[in-house]
């Protein structure tokens, strides 16, 4: 592919009791804890309008993932056949962007407390989007 | 924020009859056409397992969007108060990653035909993820 590759900006970080990706839940509804999303002060205006109770999609950069993996055994289960990463939710993929559906519990300045986030402590946050009506 | 900023890799491109973002639908369910996702041959193994009928989330890089916009009138409607971009689906945001829920119609090598994609022709594709049970 030609052209300049796009460069992401880290707009915040995850603060979570989870520190080890190997033992973190694979999905938020599999026992993930509450966490804080802590944004850089420069992005405070972008948070205006987010309220407790909102369901949002958080996009993160899974900085511990491998980018050279194109096929995996789904959920690490070697009894399942290898599958292309675009047909799985493996963190290992060419662009390891995490997509997390969470509920906002609290808004405190540039800090959002959210439920059920499986991303580990320190994970860079890229974006937050409201869930559309049709998305759940 | 400190640290090296992550660099994305364009894994494919959108081929679509839509060429003008100003007249493209804002969301896929608002009359968006069929389109093809055409992947770089190097990523063929990552597509293994995607089948017609699958519902997937396509992540794109909205390369015509502005990255310096932190608040917008939702859907461009100036009668609505300005809202932080993290509480809207505006394409204009610090990391203009498009998130599109589409159905796979056809798989032809490294080409996927999909329904209802509002991204314009040439838009870089970053990732494809299957929709999780809980996501719709």
Q: pLDDT tens digits for B68-79? A: 999 999 888 999
Q: Does the structure show a pLDDT above 90 at A31?
A: no
Token digits for A95? 């662009």
- Note every long-range contact of A88-93, with CB atoms under 8 Å and residues 24 or more positions apart, other chains counting: A88/B49, A88/B129, A88/B130, A89/A26, A89/A27, A89/B129, A89/B130, A89/B132, A91/A21, A91/A62, A91/A64, A91/A65, A92/A65, A92/A66, A92/A67, A93/A65, A93/A67, A93/A69, A93/B46, A93/B127
Q: Looking at this predicted complex, what is its ipTM?
A: 0.92
**Mean pLDDT score across all residues of chain B:** 92
CA distance A29 to A7: 31
CA distance B91 to A51: 21
The predicted pLDDT at position A75 comes to: 85
Q: Does the structure show a pLDDT above 50 at B130?
A: yes
CA distance B23 to B16: 13
In this complex, the residue of A10, A11, A130 whose CB is nearest that of residue B88 is A130
In percent, how much of chain A has pLDDT > 70?
93
- Weakest mean pLDDT among A24-33, A61-70, B109-118: A24-33
Q: Give contacts of B 36-65 with A, CB under 8 A.
A: 40, 43, 45-50, 54, 56-57, 59, 61, 63
Note whether A22 and A124 are within 8 A (CB): no
The predicted pLDDT at position B28 comes to: 87
pLDDT in tens, B21-67: 888 898 888 888 999 999 999 999 999 999 999 999 999 999 999 99
CA distance B95 to A80: 35
pLDDT in tens, A88-116: 999 999 999 999 999 999 999 999 999 99
**Dihedral of CA A51/B85/A88/B36: which sign?**
positive
CA angle B39, B89, B35 (to 5 degrees): 30
B40 contact residues in A (CB cutoff 8 A): 1
In this complex, the residue of A7, A101, A127 whose CB is nearest that of residue B93 is A127
Residue of chain A whose alpha carbon sits nearest to that of B135: A136
Q: Does the structure show a pLDDT above 90 at B132?
A: no
Q: What are phi and psi of B70, to 5 degrees?
A: -110, -15
Residue of chain B whose alpha carbon sits nearest to that of A56: B87
Answer yes or no: do B59 and A87 touch at CB < 8 A.
Answer: no
Band of pLDDT at residue A135, cut at 50, 70 and 90: low
**Dihedral of CA B13/B17/B20/B24: which sign?**
negative
Among A136, A91, A86, smallest CA distance to B37 is for A86
Greater confidence (A8 vs A23) lies with A8
Token digits for A30? 């599999």
What b/e sequence results for B59-80 when a residue is b if at least 16 CB atoms lie within 10 Å of its CB, and e otherwise? bbbbeebeeebbbbebeeeeee
The predicted pLDDT at position B76 comes to: 86
The predicted pLDDT at position B90 comes to: 95
The predicted pLDDT at position A1 comes to: 45
The predicted pLDDT at position A117 comes to: 95
**Dihedral of CA B56/B58/B59/B65: which sign?**
negative
**Mean pLDDT score across all residues of chain A:** 92
CA distance A23 to A117: 13
The predicted pLDDT at position B105 comes to: 98
In percent, how much of chain A has pLDDT > 90?
79
Q: Does the structure show a pLDDT above 60 at B4?
A: no
């Amino acid at each position: 592919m030609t052209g300049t590759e796009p460069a992401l900006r880290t707009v915040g970080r995850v603060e979570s009791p989870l520190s080890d990706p190997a033992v973190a839940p694979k999905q938020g509804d599999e026992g993930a804890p509450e966490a804080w999303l802590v944004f850089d002060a420069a992005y405070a205006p972008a948070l205006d309008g987010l309220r407790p109770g909102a369901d949002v999609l958080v996009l993160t950069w899974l900085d511990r993932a491998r980018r050279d993996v194109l096929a995996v055994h789904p959920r690490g289960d070697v009894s399942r056949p290898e599958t292309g990463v675009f047909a799985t939710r493996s963190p290992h993929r060419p662009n390891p962007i995490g997509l997390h559906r969470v509920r906002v519990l609290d808004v405190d300045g540039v800090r959002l407390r959210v439920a059920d986030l499986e991303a580990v402590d320190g994970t860079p946050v890229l974006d937050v989007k409201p869930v559309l009506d049709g998305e759940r």
